[in-house]
Structure 1
C-alpha cells in the first residue's frame, strides 16, 4: 500500500521565495525572468521579490539592480562592497558574487603600480582611473576595484573579477569624491557603533535616594550603603528636586534636615542620553554622579563617572569596522623612546602627498592630533577633547621621507592639558604645534 505524501503543496508565492533562496549570492534577479522560469505572472513575481527584500535575502539598488545577498544581520557593523557601490552610485562590471564581502580599507591608486601594490591586500578596495593593469594587479592581490571617471574595463578583467568573486565597480565621480564618500560612510559606521545610551548601562536594582525631610544622620547611613556621597533628593512623587554631597554636609548637625542643605534643580539626564554625552557633562560640570530621570523628572536610577568611563573604555577596545583616513595615515608610525621621552617614527607614503610631491598640511595636522591623543593616554588614563590647535609649518615634508613626531605634555590638570608637538624630517624641525584640550579621567 503506497504512502501518501503529506508535505503541503506550496503556493506560487512560496515557490518563488524558495527559488530565490536557492540562488547563489550575487545572482541578479528580475521580475521578467522569475515569471518566465516559474510560469507565474509578473505581478506575482514582483510581490514575492519584494517580500524577499523585506526578509533581507535580496537587495535592490539603482544601477545595480536586484541581487541575491546573504541574509542581513540585525547589527550590521561592516561596510560591504555592495554598499560601496550604492554610496558612489556605481555600476557593477564584474565579480557580483563578492558584493557581500566586507571592506577593510581603501587605497588610492595615484602612484606607480609597483608602489601601489605594496599597500594592497585581501579585503582592500583600489580606487583608480582607467588603468587596466592596475585593475588586474589589484584583483590578483585579493582586492576589489573601483574605477573612477565612469570608465569601463576590458572583458579579460571582468572575467577575472567573476572568477575571483571580487567586485569591479565603475563610478562617474572623480577619485577624491568617491574616497570622501567612502571615508564618510566608514566614520558613520564607527560613530553608530560607539553610540551607547544610558538605558543600555543603567542598573535599577537598587536606587539610593532621600527626601527633603530626611536628616543628615540618615544621609550618613545611606552613604555607607551606597558607597558614594552624592545622593539625589526626591519629593513625594519621586521627582528629583535636589542633590546632597559631602561638601553640602560640612559642619551640619546630625538632626538637620536636607531641605536646607541640598543643591536644588540638579543636573539630570534621561535614558536616551548617550554615554559619551553623560561623560562630557560630568567633565564640564565637575560632578561624579548623575540622576537618571524620565520626562516627568521621576528618578529611575543613577550613573557614576566610573561606570560611564568603563563603558567608554570597553567601546574603544572593540575592533573597528574598517580603516578611515586617520587610521591609514597613522598606520606606518611606531613608538620609540629617546632620553626617557616617547616619540613616533614613520615614513610618508605617496598617498599622503599633494600633487607637488610634499605631504599635505591636513595629513600633518592629523598626525599631530593622533600624537597628542596617544601621549595623553599614556600619562593620564582618560579621554581627551581637543579645544584648539595652533600650528606653524616651517618646511615642506617630502614624499617617502622619514618623519619623527615628539609630543610633550607642558601642563596637565584634572580638567585641562597643554601639549606641544614637534615634527622633524631630515634632522630639521618642519612643524611645531600647541594643542589645548579638556581631559577627564575615569576615577
Structure 2
C-alpha cells in the first residue's frame, strides 16, 4: 500500500513545471492536514521537485537540468537583477563569462573588457560604446537610459544593453552570487549521472532462496544483491555476511538485510559516499519515489568518480576565489602546529557589525585544511563536521592567523584541532573532521 506521503509526492510530480503550490492549496485539494502538506512540500524541495522563488512563491520545478554544465546567459542576468532590456535582444541567450565594473577611464577599461563579458557602468555613453565594440554586453545601473546610438549599436552587434534601478554594488553582488552558485551546480555529481540501470543489474525476487543468491552471486561476480518484492519494490539486500551460515533451502528473507539504505537519482554522489562510508556499504539500490528499483550504485563506482573529477573550471571574482586568495601559508610555523596560514580580512567578509562573518570564517578554515592535506598528497577531501566556537569578534582590521593541529589522520579520515588568532590573541577554536577518499 502506497503511503500518504508518497501519494502527495506523486501529486506534486503530476503538476506542470512552473505551477505554483502552497500548503493551504495542497491540504484542501488532497484532503490532508496542513502539517502533512507542509512535510510533503519540504520533501519535494529536498528532491528538487519544487523551489521557492523570491516574489513568486513555491513552484513546481524540473529536478533534471536541461543541459549539464550550462553557463549563465544574459537573459539569466536580466531575471536575476530584475532588469529591463533596452536593445540587443538577439544576444540574450549568449553565455556570460565574467563581469567588469567600469569605475575607471575608458583607456584603462579596455584592457579588462573581453568578448562575452558584461560591463557594469552608469550613464557613460562612450564606455558603453567601447564595451559593445569589444564584444561585451552592457548593464547600466542607477535606472539610467541610454541614447539611440548605443541601442542601434547593441542591435547591430546582437549584444544586450540592460538597465537596472539597483546601484553598481548591489548588482555586482547579485551577479557574483549567481556565478558562484552556477559554478557549484556544475561541480555537483548526482546519482542520476552514475548509477547502473536496472537492465544491467543482477537482483533476486521473492520467493528466492539462499541457493539462488549463491548461484547468482557467483555468476555475476557481485557479493551484494538487491532483493525485490513480486511488485518490484526493494525489500532487502543480500550479501556474503547476511547469508553466512544459512542453508541453501532457506528463503532469502532469512539471509538479507531488511529495510536497507536506498538512494534517489537526485541525491548527490558526495552524500551517497558519506552514507556508504558511515555504514560500510558496498552497494546501495537506487529507487524511485514508490520504492521501485531503478538500478544500483557501488562504493567502487562512487569513489572512482569522486577521484576522477577534474579540477573545476574557475569562475572569476566569486566569493570562494576571494577567500582562497586571502589565505596565505605562514613562513614561520609554531612548533605546536602542523601548518599555519594568514588571512587578510576584507569588508566583503564582515557582517553588519564590522566583525568577520562566521560563515566566511568556516569557509576559510575548510580552505586551510584542504591546502594542508594537498601538501600530503590527499586531494580528495569531503568535510564531515565542523564545530566553531567563537570567543570574541574578529574585527575588520585584525590580522588573522589559523593554526592547524593534527589530531588523527588515517586512510579514510582526518581530524584537526584549529586555533584562530586575531592580533596574536585567540579569537575562536574549531574542530574539523573530513573524509579522505581513496579507492579500495
The answer to whether TM tops 0.5 is yes
How far the C-alpha of 1:84 sits from its partner, in A, is: 1.4
CA distance in 2, matches of 1:138, 1:433: 48
**1:198–1:275 Cα contact (<8 Å) kept:** no
CA distance in 1, matches of 2:230, 2:155: 70
**1:150–1:173 Cα contact (<8 Å) kept:** yes
1:368 aligned to which of 365, 368, 371: 365
How far the C-alpha of 1:259 sits from its partner, in A, is: 3.0
What residue number does 1:104 align with?
97
Matched, 1:233 2:214: no
Please state whether the residue corresponding to 1:248 is helix, strand or coil.
Answer: helix
How far the C-alpha of 1:386 sits from its partner, in A, is: 4.2
**1:148–1:170 Cα contact (<8 Å) kept:** yes
**2:98–2:315 Cα contact (<8 Å) kept:** no
Please state whether the residue corresponding to 1:149 is helix, strand or coil.
Answer: coil
CA distance in 2, matches of 1:291, 1:93: 52
Q: Mark the runs of 5 or more structure 1 residues left unpaired by the alignment.
A: 1-72
1:178 aligned to which of 171, 181, 197: 171
CA distance in 1, matches of 2:255, 2:420: 53
What residue number does 1:439 align with?
435
How far the C-alpha of 1:240 sits from its partner, in A, is: 3.0
Superposed counterparts of 1:303-322, under 5 Å: 303-314=297-308, 317-319=311-313
How far the C-alpha of 1:290 sits from its partner, in A, is: 0.9
TM-score by length of 1: 0.60
Matched, 1:266 2:260: yes
How far the C-alpha of 1:77 sits from its partner, in A, is: 0.9
1:288 aligned to which of 282, 290, 294: 282
**2:197–2:294 Cα contact (<8 Å) kept:** no
2:192 aligned to which of 188, 191, 198: 198
2:202 aligned to which of 202, 208, 214: 208
Which stretch shifts more, 75-84 or 131-140? Answer: 131-140
**2:234–2:291 Cα contact (<8 Å) kept:** yes
**2:388–2:428 Cα contact (<8 Å) kept:** no
What residue number does 1:40 align with?
none
Which stretch shifts more, 257-266 or 126-135? Answer: 126-135
Q: Deviations over 1:337-369 (max 9, x none)?
A: 876955556766676678999876654443223
**1:199–1:272 Cα contact (<8 Å) kept:** no
**2:421–2:428 Cα contact (<8 Å) kept:** no
What residue number does 2:388 align with?
389
CA distance in 1, matches of 2:211, 2:96: 61
Superposed counterparts of 1:25-64, under 5 Å: none
How far the C-alpha of 1:81 sits from its partner, in A, is: 2.9
**1:397–1:430 Cα contact (<8 Å) kept:** no
2:81 aligned to which of 88, 94, 103: 88
CA distance in 1, matches of 2:153, 2:395: 42
TM-score by length of 2: 0.60
Q: Deviations over 1:214-250 (max 9, x none)?
A: 5656545544444443222334555433222333245
Q: Mark the runs of 5 or more structure 2 residues left unpaired by the alignment.
A: 1-65
CA distance in 2, matches of 1:211, 1:161: 64
Q: Deviations over 1:164-198 (max 9, x none)?
A: 88655331123454234324433553455335343
**Alpha carbon RMSD of aligned pairs, Å?**
5.1
Q: Deviations over 1:116-162 (max 9, x none)?
A: 96994535545466678987898899865534332456899889988
